[in-house]
Structure 1
């Protein structure tokens, strides 16, 4: 599968996740300016997304509450993260908020894709090795 970058990739999102993420953007933008940049990036990603029903999402797509194995392209290290809403984020347990830079970058990517995003120290790249758990593929449509 070809590497995709943040500006040209086609992402998939479930209608249920889209609704919850739009609510999150609205609520967070009213209450906090701290996540403003990432809110805007997430909002941009959502406007490009192909919206599907939970049953229609491909099983290799990173959705909310998915557990994924990413390979750090610089170090070669494999990392396992779960993509969660901000209230469930817990870095010690590898639960990454969708509003964190890597979280915003992860949503909608598929197994085999390369995630590229800017951090203060330069550019980071991760390859999506495998979606270890996706709620929709497991039949858990409303976590």
Structure 2
């Protein structure tokens, strides 16, 4: 059984709109749609500060290699605007959305199962009081 994830109403609406604007059948869109389907939509005031939302900066550890990386989760149009930007349509980006510090994310890749742990949400726009983008 998949874990429920948290998502703000504004992230949900913008991501849903993005899905509606693109061609159906794309695998990256299908995976994002599945994430949206299992999301618990929460009020910004009730959102825990350690949940990965759009524009969050998160530190991850690869549980197999021990390598740590920091990413900023962005919309596809913002990807590539900095070496740590990660599109929500990238497999890791889709997998990260809505998870919390301490959570482990597992998904199947061509070489097997990839496992990442969310070590820390370094920045979450909602917790910082930033307006929705």
Q: TM-score w.r.t. structure 1 length? A: 0.87
Pairwise CA distance, 1:91: 7.8
Q: Pick the aligned partner of 2:20 from 23, 26, 46.
A: 26
Over aligned residues, Cα RMSD in angstroms?
1.5
Give unmatched runs, 5+ long, in structure 2.
Answer: none
What is the rounded CA distance, in whole Å, between the counterparts of 1:87 and 1:63 in structure 2?
Answer: 16
Secondary structure of the residue aligned to 2:23 is: helix
Question: Among residues 122, 125, 131, which one is paired with 1:135 in the alignment?
Answer: 125
Q: Post-superposition shift, 1:140?
A: 0.7
Counterpart of 2:10 (choices 16, 36, 39) is: 16
In the alignment, structure 1 segments of 5+ residues that lack a partner are 1-6
Q: Which runs of 4+ in 1 moved over 2 A?
A: none
Aligned partners of 1:16 and 1:54 also within 8 Å: no
More helix by share: 1
User: Can you list the C-alpha shifts for 1:47-87, whole angstroms capped at 9, x where unaligned?
Assistant: 11110122221101000000000001111111000100001
Equivalent in 104, 109, 127 of residue 114 of structure 1? 104
Q: CA deviation at 1:107?
A: 0.2
**How is 1:82-101 mapped onto 2 (pairs within 5 angstroms)?**
82-90=72-80, 93-101=83-91
CA distance in 1, matches of 2:91, 2:4: 18
What CA deviation, in whole Å up to 9, does each residue of 1:27-48 have, x standing for no partner?
Answer: 1226xx6xx1121111111111
